[in-house]
Structure 1
Amino acid sequence: MSSSFNIPLLLGGMILTGSSNSLWGKFQDMQCVENCADPDYSKRILYEQPVWQTLQMFVGEMLCFLPVLCIRLKSLRRLQPIQLADDDLDHAVKSDASKDMAGWHVFLFWIPAFCDLIATTLMNIGLIYTPVSIYQMTRGALVLFVGVFSVIFLHHRLRLYQWISLLIVVGGVGLVGSSGSLVSEIIEAPTFHSMINHLVDGPSNERQLGVVLVGVSLILFAQVFAAIQFVAEEKIMERYSVTPLVAVGYEGLFGTISIMLCIPILSIPSISKLSPFFDLSRGWHQSVDNSTVLYSGIATAISIAFFNFFGLSVTRHVSATARSLTDTCRTLSIWIISLGLGWEIFLFPASLLQVLGFSLLV
């Protein structure tokens, strides 16, 4: 199977698994984990554990090591050199400028893993306070940051029409953010013990509006780190010969280690009491004691493993900018599914702003 034939399959797989990731994440955020029998809905506690959700993402990325290990064991049994088939594992095509990644060079993947940790955690927090469609549309700003950073760090050249396209994306993100403020009344108020709610004072409607805007702002800020991650991955994979499966596995490993190192710090009582986001002991019990949250987390991890494989394959064969553009295209499927599931409703004029914003993004 030729590389040119593989590219549409990689793009389609990225859109499918990417949509699944966002929908599973929002599904988890909607699950009641405490006081679920209380007739007063305002006293029920929903699942709000962005750190644990980030960890399940990294665990999913580490799953990419499994097929690599299987091939290694199979090759050792046959006593023949290890080969990763082009068709099955998207073997890295060596060039004159590339060299094998070995030794301490593998730690270079800690850079994109750390950026991924920050970006994903911020986006998981933002997803708690925004509808999943607005969350995904706001992530469209990633294209702008990737484009700018590609010019600065990768020395890519963007033509005038490409810069105009990036500015249109900014306009689309602005419209999506505006629609988020208009539909804030359909979003249930998050837990009153949440740190963000303490930052937004005032009447209930104004507080809900403020929370949504804070959520959108967090998602936008996260795109800076996501863009750095994409550009760093492209830089590494240009210089070293490494398969996407191995690259994703290393990022998952380093990301998991990073979170494990942070757990003792976040477990300090003076820090954990600041927000339920940092109460990792409570979050652990919420994650494993609730079967719905647990099984959806497993589904998310598997979906993320495939998504990151497809994403890094697109980065290797096309570019980081193409990867970010493809990531934006899953917005429509997420919005349609959200409407079908009843998670969102079509409101005038807010939903029209979403449609217009989406059309500008894609």
Structure 2
Amino acid sequence: MAWTKYQLFLAGLMLTTGSLNTLSAKWADMFSAKGCHDDPDHAFSHPFVQAVGMFLGEFSCLAVFYILVCQDRRRPEPRMNRGQSFNPLLFFAPAMCDMTATSIMYIALNMTSASSFQMLRGAVIIFTGLLSVAFLGRRLAPSQWLGICITILGLVVVGLADIASGHSDDSHKLSDVITGDLLIIMAQIIVSVQMVLEEKFVYKHDVHPLRAVGTEGLFGFVVLSLLLIPMYFIHVGNFSDNPRQVLEDALDAFCQIGHKPLILLALLGNTVSIAFFNFAGISVTKEISATTRMVLDSLRTLVIWVVSLALGWERFHGLQVLGFLVLLIGTALYNGLHRPLLARIPWCAARMNLEEDSSDAERERLLNDGRVQACEDT
């Protein structure tokens, strides 16, 4: 079936904004500028300030949700499913997971390349799969277990590529590259906890995805903004790259932005792109399919890698190509991108129908739990 112009627009918007999100964050890290009190030029290393900007972008999704609600109310027959009423504090725990993982990943982005950063984020399917089995009672299909195993192999290959680049690339020390890669993988464990909690709450309470993202963005923005105050006084020594060697020096970040306004452009690019990326991703799932969203997310990694090479931000390594292909195969298997091919084989088609029925039953169970809980609350 041919895509409509609107569907093509959504796919292009998701691919573009998703790529810009990582590239703009990396671009900000590459700047050097003077700080406060005539400090000499130093690298813009402010991961927590960047994370605040990202949460501001997520928070804007809440505004988009209420705009859509207002537009829907003006229609003679409202069609938008706003979901059940729920306690917003349910999303506080996922928001804290998001805040912690995002901050760790922005620290890691200072230590490794943008393409490796994006590739290693594929580790999230390993931990999400395992946690969904443990806490949601989900049964993974054999193809998903195979996808997890292949993804682990891909992570090993990407890690080896980073070690090889650390020996030949002067932009990052080998120790920094290894530390950055490990931090990214550690962050994916936290992200997987966030995703499992989100899935349970979104299905159980039938929450609109934009509202869920916006609510988490609100919590993350408020909490992390307040945490910038004690971070200004926590001395961490050489772990930090700012002149005062504190956990986060927000004033130094603002001073550097004042001396080099292009940093603000990079930060705004990160904030705006994350907002549009979330909107486009949800719209692609609704208008096309979740499978298409996974394909576009994989293509985003390729775009980031190609642009980084074109801008001279990193060097070409054959192992990285192999790692990307292996990760792509693992992600495709886990997300069921092989199903259209296997659907042509009769006994495979019957097997997949059983798996889909099982998945639908799990979602219905979560929805029913939410309906029962809602009745008990009333």
Q: TM-score range by the shorter chain?
A: 0.7 to 0.9
Distance 1:82 1:50 in 2: 46
Distance 2:12 2:196 in 1: 22
Worse-matched range after superposition: 155-164 or 54-63: 155-164
Q: Determine if contact 2:20/2:269 at 8 Å carries over to the other structure.
A: no
Indicate yes or no: 2:287 matched with 1:309.
no
Equivalent residue in structure 1 for 2:195, among 218, 230, 241: 230
Equivalent residue in structure 2 for 1:151, among 118, 122, 133: 133
Indicate yes or no: 2:271 matched with 1:294.
no
Q: Determine if contact 2:34/2:259 at 8 Å carries over to the other structure.
A: no
- CA shift, 1:244, in A, is 2.0
Q: Determine if contact 1:29/1:128 at 8 Å carries over to the other structure.
A: yes
Q: Determine if contact 1:123/1:222 at 8 Å carries over to the other structure.
A: yes
| Cα deviation digits, residues 102-151 of structure 1 (max 9, x gap) | 3xx11111122111111111111111111111111111111111111222
Equivalent residue in structure 1 for 2:63, among 66, 89, 109: 66
Alignment of 1:116-265 (within 5 A): 116-184=98-166, 185-189=168-172, 208-265=173-230
Q: Determine if contact 1:62/1:248 at 8 Å carries over to the other structure.
A: yes
The residue that corresponds to 1:23 in the other structure is 23
Q: Determine if contact 1:315/1:322 at 8 Å carries over to the other structure.
A: yes
Distance 1:175 1:215 in 2: 16
- CA shift, 1:283, in A, is 2.1
- CA shift, 1:45, in A, is 1.4
SS of residue in 2 equivalent to 1:16: helix
Provide closer, same or farther for how the CA distance between residues 74 and 171 of structure 1 changes in structure 2, counting only shifts above 3 A.
Answer: closer
Equivalent residue in structure 2 for 1:101, among 72, 80, 85: 85
Distance 2:287 2:88 in 1: 21
Distance 2:137 2:319 in 1: 35
Provide closer, same or farther for how the CA distance between residues 316 and 327 of structure 1 changes in structure 2, counting only shifts above 3 A.
Answer: same
Provide closer, same or farther for how the CA distance between residues 271 and 113 of structure 1 changes in structure 2, counting only shifts above 3 A.
Answer: same
Distance 2:156 2:304 in 1: 19
The residue that corresponds to 2:351 in the other structure is none
Provide closer, same or farther for how the CA distance between residues 273 and 174 of structure 1 changes in structure 2, counting only shifts above 3 A.
Answer: closer
- CA shift, 1:187, in A, is 4.1
Indicate yes or no: 2:327 matched with 1:357.
no
Provide closer, same or farther for how the CA distance between residues 344 and 46 of structure 1 changes in structure 2, counting only shifts above 3 A.
Answer: same
Distance 1:82 1:121 in 2: 43
The residue that corresponds to 2:350 in the other structure is none
The residue that corresponds to 1:114 in the other structure is 96
Provide closer, same or farther for how the CA distance between residues 72 and 314 of structure 1 changes in structure 2, counting only shifts above 3 A.
Answer: closer
SS of residue in 1 equivalent to 2:315: coil
Segments of 5+ residues of structure 1 without an aligned counterpart are: 36-42, 86-90, 94-98, 190-207
- Letter of the 1:243 counterpart: H
Provide the alpha-carbon RMSD of the alignment: 3.3
Provide closer, same or farther for how the CA distance between residues 72 and 329 of structure 1 changes in structure 2, counting only shifts above 3 A.
Answer: closer
- CA shift, 1:75, in A, is 7.3
Number of residues of Structure 1 aligned to a counterpart in Structure 2: 316
- CA shift, 1:188, in A, is 2.0
Distance 2:238 2:112 in 1: 24
Distance 1:231 1:313 in 2: 21
Provide closer, same or farther for how the CA distance between residues 101 and 156 of structure 1 changes in structure 2, counting only shifts above 3 A.
Answer: same
Distance 1:332 1:183 in 2: 18
Provide closer, same or farther for how the CA distance between residues 170 and 269 of structure 1 changes in structure 2, counting only shifts above 3 A.
Answer: closer
- CA shift, 1:25, in A, is 0.8
